Amino acid sequence: MRTLLLLYLCVYAAWAQGTSDYDEDDDTDATVDARGHRPLTRDRETYNPSRYVPPPISGGGRYRGRPTEAPVGQHLAQEKVEQPEAGGCTHASDEMGVLCPNGCELKTTLLKQERSVKTSINDLKPQVEELSRSSNNIYTYVNTMSNSLRDRHTVINENTRVVRQYTDQVEEQHVFIKDVVDNVFPSSIRVLHGVLDKIKQKIERLEKAIQAQREGCKEPCKTKCPIPVVSGKECEDIFRRGGKKSQMYLIQIDDSTRPYKVFCDQTSKEGGWLLIQNRLDGSVDFGRRWDEYRRGFGNIAFDVGKGHCETPGEYWLGNDRISQLTKMGPTEILIEMQDWTGAKVYAQYRQFTIQSDTSNYVLAVDGYSGTAGNGLLEGALQLFGVNRTMTIHNGMMFSTFDRDNDNWNPGDPSKQCSREDGGGWWYNRCHSANPNGRYYIGGAYNRNMAKHGTDDGIVWMNWKGSWYSLKAISMKIKPFFAST
């Protein structure tokens, strides 16, 4: 507003200088308010003294003495006095100075100036309004910029704080990583180098041990302990001839066959038992071919320093020999088992026969007694219906991984019990008993440990279930006869 007022005063001063001449065409009869051009509020008026005010008039007075009043009731003719200023704008006497304008002339001048000022004001109003709008827009823009600037300052301050915070964290992480790289990693690497050196030493020792075993196994292992003088057709015959000590003996079924070594158990259940299968330490691999199961494999017995082979080894007597022994007459079988806690159970069958090679050594058993569970005749007791019957072993043919005779999709090489369960046996689809399976130390094992994800351990399901591999199991036969 102050800017507008100063602008108005400047315009008025310029206009006043340009219109100082008297306009005779002005209407002197118009009536105006002598104060209409002034502010009506006194406290807003300002006094601006004129720079061109003439000096005060000096000298004699402007008026003569007053005439004497006429007496009351009398009419005196007023003497006409000729005014020295009549007929001109100056006094007749130069000493009286300049003749001042009368009131009518002042009014006419003011009216003229008012019209001119109104015209100028009307011309200036759009410019003033435009200037006001521009000023308001500029003021609004400046306020907006100020607010935006304050907001940006706030954001910058917050960003600076966040950057400082993350910078501190990065520096902490850098210090930590540098400490790990400089100290922890070298220490760990040294430890790993030490472990690697130890592993290398163990590998070297194992390689030496393996080489020594290879050198020792270039020739077939031979039992160096002496053969007892007593012999017979089988262990029951040897027992009756006086061979009542459990050890390795030499037997000969008949004159048409060659003698061979067996281990006789002459102490368990009245003796006379011929060991046809034995597992006790996992030293012999039972994942063998058909011909090896037919001929037999493993170690019959060992000498532990007493001069005789009194400790049985791990071995399979051979299907041909087992078949011949069982077809000599009624035969019974004793299957003894031990878990990794030392607990023992057994399964005994009073009738046990193995057919010949032409029938793939079909198994026939009957007359169960014992504490291990009748897996060969009844299957796995944990199962029901067809799931149980497919685990019965009685009546099954013998199978190995290279000759599939089981009941699980015969002829399909991807479905072979012997290939999945680790050894040769009378598999159905597949088993409740697996004496010739893989040897797992400790007993319990799982699918991840098994080669094919199946229960391929030394299993007797009716005692320990599918996922427990026995520590020891043996199969022994002898002629069946009624006890007296």
* Residue 311 CB neighbours (<10 A): 18
Is pLDDT at 420 greater than 80 in this prediction?
yes
DSSP letter for each residue of 120-167: HHHHHHHHHHHHHHHHHHHHHHHHHHHHHHHHHHHHHHHHHHHHHHHH
pLDDT at 51: 41
367-405 residue pLDDT tens: 999 999 999 999 999 999 899 999 999 999 999 999 999
Share of the chain above pLDDT 90, in %: 44
Over residues 351-362, mean pLDDT: 94
Over residues 158-195, the pLDDT tens digits come to: 888 888 888 888 888 888 888 888 888 888 898 898 89
Task: Give residue-wise pLDDT tens across range 208-264.
Answer: 888 888 777 766 555 567 788 888 999 999 999 999 999 999 999 988 889 999 999
* Alpha helices in 426-481, H assignment, sequence order: 461-464
pLDDT of the residue at 4: 52
Give the closest residue to 300 by CA, choosing from 291, 292, 309. 309
Which carries the bigger pLDDT value, residue 82 or residue 127?
Answer: 127
Give the residues across from 460 on adjacent strands.
433
Q: Would strands 231-232 and 247-251 be described as parallel, antiparallel, or unpaired?
A: parallel
Task: Say if residue 37's pLDDT is above 60.
Answer: no
Task: Give residue 94's pLDDT band: very low, low, confident or very high (50, 70, 90).
Answer: low
pTM, two decimals, is 0.56
Structure confidence at residue 64 as a pLDDT band (50, 70, 90): low
> Please, are residues 321 and 283 in contact by the beta-carbon 8 Å criterion?
no
